[in-house]
Each structure stands twice: as structure tokens, then as C-alpha cells.
């Protein structure tokens, strides 16, 4: 059984009732095919390796995105493993295991998709406990790895940021007097306690503050505490970072300063409970 047939069979098993042959919605196997096309189209040839993107952002109409998102991470892991196997079959190399993101975008037509790719060696995609067991066994053949990998969920691409309750001191932290408030953008109204020495902000699920802003980079901004202020560092973002309307790369900010990344505006506030 070839890899695409294997994936299609697994997708049909998982999505029976949500996706059927001839259904009006986009089929899971169609996404898998488009990801492979994007991988092949964007390969980079070095002296001794052929590298392919390890980040795939898929933008879908909400009518197609909703049913997929309801299945959580298990579908994303299948896609990741399918791409990994296809790359191995062609002799291609990933910087890390491929990360798949699905986004809802009303500018995309139903049953269509837009795929963006990227190279990023800082990501960490966890396929599950079985992967750790396989690492202990350390099989020598790549074919053994591909055949024995199971289909368990553990990544957090669909991670939803939950607004902290500022009345809860366990979230604020006893020594934390300040928090970030999002006053503009897709996550408006949410707050984040500044209880860590460093806070990374972006769309990546491993950031301390995850934003659902399509104009924000995966790792966009770092905020670090100073003596009487905070240091804001742009992490090489695509669209830049701004403080009070001025583009910055490294700047000290105070409570009340407007920090803008993408469509989102954040302000450091002092807790009334401090």
C-alpha cells in the first residue's frame, strides 16, 4: 500500500461522518496532496542535502476549517508523519519534524486552500510517547522508523490562549505587579501576567503568549524585565515591531507604552491587586 493510500485510509477512518466521498467540504486527503506539492515546489538544494520546508501553514475557509479543527491535533500529526515519510522516500531532509498549522481565513474560497511554507530550525514537534520509546530502541533503518511510528496526538497547533483571571493570585504571581493587556487585534481583551523574567510572544504554540494574529510572526517579540522598565526585542519578525508608532529592534518601555505587532497592540499595566 503506497503512502497516499495509507493516509487516505487513516483519514477516512478518523473522519467518517465529518467527511464523505463527494461531500461539499474539502477532503483531508486533498490537504495531504497539496502539502506534498508545496514541499516539492519549495525544496532547496545544498552541497550534500536537499532540504524541504518544515513549516506548513494551511489557510482554509471556515466551513472547511471547522470540522478539521474539531478533531484536534491527531489529524495534524498524521499530516506531519505523512510528509516526513514522503520526504524520506525522496531522500529529502527536514530541519526538524514538519509542523502543520491550519488557519481559518474567510478570504479563501470554500474547498480551496492557500499553503505557506517556511524553514525554522527552532521548532519542536512532539509526535507522542511512542516516539520516545522508539528513540530508546534506536532502530538503525529509516524504514523501521517509518513503519513503526504510531498515530498519537501531542502537538499544540490548535492551542487556544486562555485569558488569566486577574483576581487569581496563582496566575499573577506573588511578586508580579504587572501584566500585558491586549487592547487591539484578534485577541483583544486578553491579559497575560508578567511573572517570568522573559516572555516570548508570537503565533508559535511554544511561545508564552500565543497570538492569533496572521500578521504576527511565529516568534515575533521578546519582553524582558529590567530594573525599572522592560526591554522589548524584535526577533527578526517579518512585519516589524513598533512602540508608540516608531519601529524598534531593541527598546526600553514603561507601563502605558503602546507595543504594536501586526494588528495587535499590547500595553503593560499595573495590577490593582499589587
In the predicted model, what is the mean pLDDT of residues 193-202? 89
pLDDT at residue 19, as a whole number: 44
Long-range contacts (CB closer than 8 Å, 24 or more residues apart) made by 227-234: 229/253, 229/254, 230/194, 230/254, 230/268, 232/259
How far is 29 from 118, CA to CA, in rounded Å? 22
Partners of 117 in the β-ladder: 56
pLDDT digits (tens, 9 = 90+) for 58-99: 998 888 888 887 777 788 888 999 999 999 998 999 999 999
**Using an 8 Å Cβ cutoff, are 124 and 156 in contact?**
no
Is the model's pLDDT at 274 over the cut of 70? no
pLDDT at residue 250, as a whole number: 92
Residue partners of 270: CB distance under 8 A and separation at least 6: 177, 178, 255
Is the model's pLDDT at 179 over the cut of 80? yes
How far is 129 from 125, CA to CA, in rounded Å? 12
Alpha helices in the chain (DSSP H): 3-14, 28-41, 62-69, 73-90, 129-137, 142-148, 169-172
pLDDT at residue 23, as a whole number: 53
Give the mean pLDDT of the chain: 77
pTM, full prediction: 0.46
Amino acid at each position: 500500500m503506497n503512502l497516499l493510500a495509507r493516509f487516505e485510509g487513516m483519514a477516512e477512518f478518523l473522519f467518517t461522518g465529518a467527511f464523505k466521498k463527494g461531500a461539499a467540504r474539502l477532503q483531508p486527503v486533498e490537504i495531504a496532496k497539496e502539502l506534498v506539492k508545496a514541499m516539492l515546489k519549495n525544496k532547496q538544494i545544498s552541497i550534500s542535502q536537499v532540504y524541504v520546508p518544515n513549516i506548513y501553514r494551511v489557510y482554509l475557509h471556515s466551513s472547511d476549517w471547522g470540522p478539521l479543527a474539531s478533531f484536534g491535533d491527531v489529524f495534524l500529526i498524521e499530516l506531519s508523519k505523512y510528509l516526513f515519510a514522503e520526504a524520506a522516500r525522496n531522500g529529502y531532509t527536514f530541519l526538524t519534524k514538519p509542523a502543520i498549522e491550519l488557519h481559518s481565513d474567510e478570504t479563501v474560497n470554500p474547498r480551496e486552500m492557500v499553503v505557506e511554507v517556511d524553514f525554522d530550525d527552532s521548532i519542536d514537534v512532539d509526535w507522542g510517547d511512542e516516539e520516545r520509546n522508539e528513540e530508546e530502541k534506536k532502530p538503525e533503518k529509516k524504514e523501521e522508523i517509518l513503519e513503526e511510528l504510531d498515530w498519537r496526538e501531542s502537538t499544540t497547533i490548535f492551542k487556544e490562549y486562555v485569558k488569566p483571571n486577574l483576581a487569581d493570585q496563582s496566575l499573577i504571581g506573588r511578586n508580579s505587579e504587572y501584566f500585558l493587556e491586549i487592547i487591539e487585534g484578534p485577541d483583544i481583551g486578553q491579559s497575560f501576567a508578567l511573572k517570568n523574567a522573559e516572555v516570548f510572544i508570537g503565533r508559535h504554540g511554544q511561545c508564552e503568549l500565543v497570538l492569533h494574529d496572521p500578521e504576527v510572526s511565529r516568534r515575533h517579540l521578546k519582553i524582558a524585565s529590567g530594573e525599572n522598565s522592560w526591554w522589548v526585542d524584535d526577533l527578526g519578525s517579518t512585519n516589524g515591531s513598533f512602540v508608540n508608532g516608531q519601529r524598534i529592534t531593541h527598546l526600553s518601555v514603561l507601563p502605558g507604552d503602546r507595543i504594536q505587532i501586526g494588528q495587535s497592540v499590547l500595553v503593560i499595566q499595573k495590577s490593582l491587586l499589587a
